[in-house]
Structure 1
Amino acid sequence: MRVAVAGGGWAGCAAAVELARAGAQVTLVESARTLGGRARGVEVHGAQVDNGQHILLGAYAATLRLLVDVGIDPDAALLRLPVQMRYPEGSGGMEFVAPRWPAPLHLLGALLRAKGLGRADKLALARFNSAARWMGWVLYQDCTVDELLARFDQTPRLNRLLWHPLCIAALNTPPSRASAKVFLAVLRDSLGAKRRAASDMLLPRLDMGALFPQAAARLVERHGGAVRTGVRLDALARVDEGWQLTLSGQDALFDAVVLATPAPQTAALLAPHDPALASRLHAFEHEPIATCYLQYDPSVRLDLPFYALLDDPASGRWGQFAFDRGQLDAAQAGLLAVVVSAAGAAAELDQHALAAGIAVQLAQDLRLPALATPQWTRVITEKRATFSCTPGLDRPGNDTALPGLVLAGDYTASDYPATLETAVRSGVCAATIIRAYGTLPREKRSLSHAAGTAGPTSVR
């Protein structure tokens, strides 16, 4: 089959890899000059960094499998740490880190050893964990995260130091608007993981482009496929038993298409063919993420690879997590990355003002006055980093009513929020649907969707 994969983010690359390994003739097209989408490598002041700092989980089975498939060794490419929430000493936060005990004892150990939490906080956390396990980490009637926390009588301090930061980091949506159902799914695979290793936090040592997209492109090309960057998909049209794509003004024919473009672009492309689906995609709202890079003298090294920070936008404290890039890549000694998720207000600030405020925050919290005066700074803001993960959000499946055309992207149906794992799973599922479609006789392909034979319709 001749399959076009439009969109070179992690979802598109995952679909392209699966299809190429299955024998399809794959053409992967990306409008940008580099692959990776919203998780890609960029050059800043001569350093190869990311457009946003990421943390993966040990539970990301699909992502870890594909890394191996494309020739990346996860043990070498990722720094594995036990699940934790650790604030700088003396900053008013807490220290919560799971020992390397079998699950669920690792969570009990973290709770018993936790510093900065009172007896009422620890009892509230134990109560939440017990109730969530009894529920199977499933909430059938969705509500906001704040409503869920109130239902389980969580303390203000526990909310401030644990639940709210976890919600913002995982869902990139404020807890007052975030889906409790999706939040529980994230907690199920972190604090509530059945295997301790699944709850581990994985910090990339490579830039996000080198971690997967570039290796995926090499695999596609080794299998006879083509990877074309700087090529935009202008339009698509159904012709005979296939699809005609207009790529940067030139037409090309394909048997099937994986649309792995961002939801707004996908909606525009689908509007002439499936107005109802396009309308659903147009309804998505989005949240920004800002990452501030600060370069110091190479001798600067934090005690930990990353810290949680107490944010307070009203006081100019924007940073939520700080990463020591030098502990991930020795060539980046002295480079810190500070993440601001759900960064709507921060994104409206002047970049220099935002960076200056974050530098002062670091100096205060880490008790290192020199951090207030970095050698240089750079703020990178992804204005549409993720969709707003709100209760009851209508997320489409991977399959569509259009024969031979499927969707891939972190916005598609999943119990996870917009994560790398969601994107990869969606790409794998899209490839599975296309492969099933390709095994049908041509005369049956146009009927496959009505008959329900085109494969799974969503990622789980």
Structure 2
Amino acid sequence: MNTHQHNIAIIGGGCAGLSAAATLTERGYSVTLFEASSQLGGRARTVVVENKDLLQLLDNGQHILLGAYHATLSLLEKAGVKENEAFLRLPLQLNMVSSSAKSIFSLKSVNYLPAPFNMLVGFIFCKGLSFKDRITALTFMRHLQSSNYEIINDKPLVKFLKLHHQSAKLIQMLWEPLCLAALNTPIAKASSKIFLNVLRDSFSGNKKNSDFLIPKLDLSKIISHPLGHYIQARGGSIKLNHRIRTLVEVDNGFNLETRQGTFNFSHVIVATSPARTDKLLEQLPKLKTSRDKTDHYQYQPIYTIYLQYPIETKLPQVMCGLSNTISQWVFDRGELCGEKGLLAVIVSAEGKHQKLTQDDLALKVAKELNQAFPQLPKPLWHKVIAEKRATFSCLPDLARPTNRTAQSNLYLAGDYTYASYPATIEGAVRSGIYCANLISNAS
């Protein structure tokens, strides 16, 4: 392998760009990573917010990883991240609470049994479903396993579930929360095929694949800081506050123009958001009419509402789902990461909440929490972090670019290029590693 002949630029310091850079520097390649902002991490980062004249670090969203995210966990391990320090690992459990303070649905995998029996027995003994619903869910899961979670014709997930006789209650309590958590797309629009891919990875193979991994540290400490150090320790260069203005083909590769100057590279991996990628590729004639376009994409928001309560405030569980509310999931960050009394509420995908002001949304969420958990006092302060275009809408048969482009030595990385997965950290990491492999294999 002639790595010294390769001078590789990676545009974008999110999870895809970081995984590509880490993989290539580990293999001895010369890599320069350009990030337009002042910090790495993309959508998985920590932000500084001001509350009552105090500066506080908060994640830009409350993320959940799955035990099936093997590429992400392996990459973080290489970078020195110890899983037990970085994440709380919970065997799959769904606890749905109503606005009237009642537990209305509870499903736990049976941890002493191997997969898939841990989930099948979990369904038998779950609470909040009729015997008929439990049998229907079990029958459906067995059908998915026997078909290897594959379908020929993609369709909106709600239609697929109804075809398989999943009741309104099963959809509301089980499938819709899982769909929102995995795809961040309303169940009426979401791709059945992609949802089943996530189920397959989670519910087949090792029973730990279905575990939830909830970050116990700031995301920057888990992802961008250790990966940035790993890249630089292996000779990689990271240029923050370097926005790429133009990307053009020249005789010996590509020129990247920034405000700080023009740089030349033999290979380029574009690891920016789909909308930004389209703009970067404008001056490459071979890509004008190619499949690499993403201008047809729609996007979904994620709102994270942080509510600070008195420090003695605790929830019954570290993570609870809420039903018939705007709020979908609530996390006790005091139990997770020592931020005593701080609760994080997730509102995924599009909905009525987008019409509310941030203060009104926080007030609505606080009222919903107070109804579900009557012991909660009034919050001391709130902060809403809105990612308006957090993920692409994961629609049926969505045309998605491949990592290899029609332009020689130019590659695309990002969760939107990993066609079998939704917009997740794992999809982004896999795409970056795949681009690195394409360059290595061509050397």
TM-score by length of 2: 0.94
CA contact (8 A) 1:12 1:408 kept: yes
Runs of at least 5 residues in structure 1 that lack an aligned partner in the other structure:
312-316, 440-460
SS of 1:377's equivalent in the other structure is strand
CA contact (8 A) 1:287 1:344 kept: no
Query: Are residue 343 (structure 1) and residue 350 (structure 2) matched?
Result: yes
**What is the aligned partner in structure 2 of residue 211 from structure 1?**
222
**What is the aligned partner in structure 2 of residue 309 from structure 1?**
322
Query: Are residue 328 (structure 1) and residue 341 (structure 2) matched?
Result: no
Tell me, in whole angstroms, the C-alpha distance in 1 between the residues paired with 2:210 and 2:376.
34
Q: Which amino acid aligns with 1:420?
A: I
Tell me, in whole angstroms, the C-alpha distance in 2 between the residues paired with 1:383 and 1:40.
16
Question: How does 1:19-168 map onto structure 2 within 5 Å?
Answer: 19-44=24-49, 45=51, 46-88=55-97, 90-91=101-102, 93-100=104-111, 101-168=113-180
Superposed CA RMSD: 1.4
Query: Are residue 319 (structure 1) and residue 323 (structure 2) matched?
Result: no
Q: Which of 15, 22, 26 is 2:20 aligned to?
A: 15
Query: Are residue 287 (structure 1) and residue 292 (structure 2) matched?
Result: no
Tell me, in whole angstroms, the C-alpha distance in 1 between the residues paired with 2:351 and 2:225.
31
**What is the aligned partner in structure 1 of residue 366 from structure 2?**
359
Query: Are residue 421 (structure 1) and residue 426 (structure 2) matched?
Result: yes
Tell me, in whole angstroms, the C-alpha distance in 1 between the residues paired with 2:93 and 2:201.
14
Q: Which amino acid aligns with 2:210?
A: S
CA contact (8 A) 1:234 1:249 kept: no
CA contact (8 A) 1:292 1:379 kept: yes
1:50-96 CA-to-partner distances (Å, cap 9, x unmatched) read 10111100011100100011110112211000111102384362011
1:366-414 CA-to-partner distances (Å, cap 9, x unmatched) read 22241xx211100101111110100000111101111111000000032
CA contact (8 A) 1:121 1:158 kept: yes
Tell me, in whole angstroms, the C-alpha distance in 2 between the residues paired with 1:65 and 1:350.
40
Return the offset for 1:160: 0.8
Return the offset for 1:431: 0.9
Q: Which amino acid aligns with 1:204?
A: P
SS of 1:282's equivalent in the other structure is coil
Tell me, in whole angstroms, the C-alpha distance in 2 between the residues paired with 1:410 and 1:403.
21
CA contact (8 A) 2:307 2:344 kept: yes
Q: Which of 392, 404, 412 is 2:409 aligned to?
A: 404
CA contact (8 A) 1:182 1:415 kept: yes
Runs of at least 5 residues in structure 2 that lack an aligned partner in the other structure:
1-5
Tell me, in whole angstroms, the C-alpha distance in 2 between the residues paired with 1:344 and 1:6.
33
Q: Which amino acid aligns with 1:391?
A: P
TM-score by length of 1: 0.91
Q: Which runs of 4+ in 1 moved over 6 A?
A: none
Tell me, in whole angstroms, the C-alpha distance in 2 between the residues paired with 1:412 and 1:113.
39
Return the offset for 1:166: 1.0
Q: How many residues align?
A: 429
1:120-167 CA-to-partner distances (Å, cap 9, x unmatched) read 210111111011111110111101101111110001111111111111
CA contact (8 A) 2:186 2:350 kept: no
Tell me, in whole angstroms, the C-alpha distance in 1 between the residues paired with 2:396 and 2:168.
22
Q: Which of 206, 212, 219 is 1:195 aligned to?
A: 206
CA contact (8 A) 2:302 2:347 kept: yes
Tell me, in whole angstroms, the C-alpha distance in 1 between the residues paired with 2:43 and 2:360.
24
CA contact (8 A) 2:290 2:406 kept: no
Return the offset for 1:295: 0.4
CA contact (8 A) 1:268 1:278 kept: no
